[in-house]
Structures are given as structure tokens and as C-alpha cells.
């Protein structure tokens, strides 16, 4: 069996994988906070027919190609204004929001298209609750309790010392650059009803895409706080500050993706031709008996 036949098959398989990656990038060109992926190749084991001790050097023939890695590009995507108070844009390339599902599993995400659910919690579109400080304190006060951020105005739990009318009710909220949820009351008074916290990872490429713009495998990616995964206020440890009323869009560069698509398609065709040529050589060998 010709080794070129096996090399051609390996090439087709791996160029197909690269085509799949490119296709997924193009499909997600308008997905909020999507991070483009890149497939890289490496050569495989080489058959040594002669060692390198002679004057002519070693004689080696490679056996094809393999996909060495599929890595994500975590550079920032395009900034887009929305005007919605619950939409958040991370003004920095390294920060992540952390959210929890109903079973307590924690995920990271760059997608800040949050909404306030019927119970007042700040959640993703799938209902995963955004994590941070949950205390109600005076403006600029110190937070102590971590958990699910709840944007609400409960008269009975307003911070002590707040000079607000007994009849004042919530008139809206705004999320500050440092993540503080600033509650506005109808009499003009304000207080902080929590703070969105951020996470950062030593090696974000160890994060695993879980769908719905979420990343898992947080512990192995080197989070702040180690195994405890202690999040920090936006702007600390290089996490980036927040911009309310805006979203991060996909960082897919369509022009680059289509250029990669063309070169990958040609690579696939070239490897298919290797298989065809190897088959013709084998056919000639078989025909020698006639």
C-alpha cells in the first residue's frame, strides 16, 4: 500500500475538520460575544528508512497530517449600543461574567444580553443567574454577601441610613462601570442593590464551549482565586470595566474567514488528487501481471 494514499486520506480528514471550524465561524458571525475558532495542523509520525549517522543524513517519509489544536480567539468583538439598562459590554478582552444554573453549576460568558426575570433576578436568556454581591448598601458602601444578583426595591430591606421618603418606589436602575447596581427611587434618592463581579482566566483556551454563549471547565483554566474561583469587581486584575446599554458582538472577520475557506478548499482538493493519483499507480501495478 502506498503511504501517499494514507497521507491523502489524513489530509482530507483534517481539512474537513478545518472546513467545519470555518463554517461554524461564519454561521456565528452575528452571535453575541462569539469567539472565532482556528484549527492548526501538525505533521504526524515519520517512517525512518535510514538513520542520520551517515553522510547523506537520515531518510524519513511522513505519514500525513493531524489537527494539533482548535483554539479560540478571545480578542474583543465589535461594540454595539442597545440602550437597554440590563445589557452589559465588557470594556476589556480578559474579563468574563459568571452565571449559575438551577443546579448550582457555574459558567463563564462574555455575552451580556441579560434580562430581569419575574422575581427580579438578573439572568441570561436561558435563566442562568448572574453572580456578584447581593447586599443593599448606601451609594459607594461596602458589600459582603455573594450570590445571585437581584435587582429589586424592597422597602423593608433598604439600607439603613438611606434618606428616602416612606412612599418612594423604584423608578429604575443603572449598572455602573464598576458593576454596582444603582437603584433610583421616585423621590430622587439612590442606593446600591448589588454589584456584578468579573472573573479572569490564566489560559482561557482551556475553557470549553457549552452552547448558549457559555464556557465550562472553569477550574482547569486558572481562575482568579484558584479552586475557590473568587470573582472581583470590574476593572480589577485587568478584567475590564462595564458599559451599560451595549453588547459585544462576534469577533469573526468574514473577509479572513472566506479567504481561509478558499485555501482550505484547495487543500482538500489537492489531497483528493493525491488519493486519485495513488489509486492510479496501484492500478498500474496490478495491471503488470497482464
For 197-223, the pLDDT digits (tens) are 999 999 999 999 999 999 999 999 999
Phi, psi (deg, nearest 5) at residue 152: -155, 170
136 CB-near residues (< 8 Å, 6+ apart): 154, 157, 158, 159, 183, 191, 192, 193, 194
Q: Which three cell numbers stand for residue 159?
A: 439600607
Task: Return the pLDDT at 157.
Answer: 80
What is the rounded distance in angstroms from the CA atom of residue 64 to the CA atom of residue 290? 33
Mean pLDDT for 174-190 is: 93
Mean of pLDDT values over 141-163? 87
- The confidence band for 286, taking pLDDT boundaries of 50, 70 and 90, is confident
Q: Which residue has the higher pLDDT, 114 or 152?
A: 114
> What average pLDDT is seen over the chain?
91
What percent of the chain clears pLDDT 90, i.e. is strictly above it?
72
Whether the per-residue pLDDT at 234 is higher than 80: the answer is yes
The span from the CA of 208 to the CA of 37, in Å, is: 12
Q: Give the pLDDT confidence score for residue 56 in this predicted structure.
A: 62
In sequence order, what are the beta bridge partners of 232? Answer: 198
Cell of 51: 538513520
Integer Cα distance of 102 and 118 in angstroms = 15
Q: What is the largest CA-CA distance in the chain?
A: 104
pLDDT tens per residue across span 27-64: 999 999 999 999 999 988 776 666 666 666 677 777 78
pLDDT at position 165: 82
Q: Note the pLDDT of residue 52.
A: 60
Among the residue ranges 43-52, 146-155, 247-256, the one predicted with the least confidence is 43-52
The stretch 112-134 carries a mean pLDDT of 95
DSSP helix/strand/coil, 255: helix
- Residue 260, helix vs strand vs coil: helix
Cβ proximity of 253 and 25 under 8 Å: no
In the three-class reduction of DSSP (H, G, I as helix; E, B as strand; rest coil), residue 159 is classed as: coil
Q: Which residue has the cell 489560559?
A: 203
Mean local confidence (pLDDT), 229-256: 96
| Rounded (5°) CA angle 134-140-145 | 20
pLDDT for residue 53: 61
List Cα–Cα distances, 230 to 29, 227, 237, in angstroms: 32, 8, 12
Cα-Cα-Cα-Cα dihedral sign, residues 166, 172, 177, 179: positive
Q: Per-residue pLDDT for 1 more than 60? A: no
Report pLDDT for 154.
77
Amino acid at each position: 500500500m502506498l503511504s501517499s494514499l494514507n497521507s491523502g486520506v489524513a489530509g482530507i480528514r483534517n481539512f474537513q475538520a478545518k472546513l467545519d471550524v470555518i463554517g461554524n465561524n461564519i454561521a456565528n458571525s452575528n452571535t453575541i460575544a462569539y469567539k472565532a475558532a482556528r484549527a492548526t495542523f501538525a505533521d504526524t509520525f515519520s517512517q525512518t528508512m535510514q538513520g542520520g549517522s551517515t553522510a547523506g543524513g537520515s531518510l524519513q517519509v511522513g505519514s500525513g497530517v493531524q489537527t494539533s489544536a482548535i483554539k479560540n480567539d478571545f480578542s474583543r468583538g465589535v461594540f454595539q449600543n442597545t440602550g437597554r439598562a440590563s445589557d452589559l459590554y465588557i470594556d476589556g478582552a480578559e474579563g468574563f461574567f459568571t452565571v449559575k444554573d438551577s443546579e448550582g453549576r457555574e459558567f463563564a460568558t462574555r455575552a451580556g444580553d441579560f434580562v430581569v426575570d419575574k422575581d427580579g433576578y438578573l439572568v441570561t436568556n436561558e435563566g442562568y443567574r448572574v453572580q456578584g454581591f447581593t447586599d443593599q448598601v448606601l451609594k459607594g458602601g461596602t458589600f459582603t454577601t455573594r450570590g445571585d444578583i437581584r435587582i429589586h426595591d424592597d422597602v423593608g430591606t433598604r439600607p439603613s441610613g438611606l434618606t428616602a421618603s416612606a412612599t418612594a418606589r423604584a423608578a429604575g436602575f443603572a449598572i455602573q462601570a464598576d458593576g454596582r447596581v444603582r437603584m433610583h427611587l421616585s423621590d430622587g434618592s439612590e442606593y446600591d442593590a448589588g454589584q456584578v463581579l468579573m472573573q479572569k482566566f490564566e489560559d482561557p483556551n482551556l475553557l470549553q464551549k457549552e452552547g448558549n454563549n457559555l464556557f465550562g471547565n472553569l477550574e482547569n483554566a486558572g481562575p482568579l482565586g484558584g479552586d475557590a474561583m473568587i470573582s472581583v469587581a470590574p476593572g480589577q486584575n485587568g478584567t475590564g470595566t462595564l458599559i451599560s446599554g451595549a453588547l459585544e458582538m462576534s469577533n469573526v472577520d468574514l473577509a479572513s474567514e472566506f479567504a481561509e475557506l478558499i485555501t482550505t478548499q484547495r487543500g482538500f482538493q489537492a489531497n483528493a488528487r493525491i488519493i486519485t493519483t495513488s489509486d492510479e499507480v496501484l492500478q498500474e501495478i496490478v495491471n503488470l501481471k497482464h
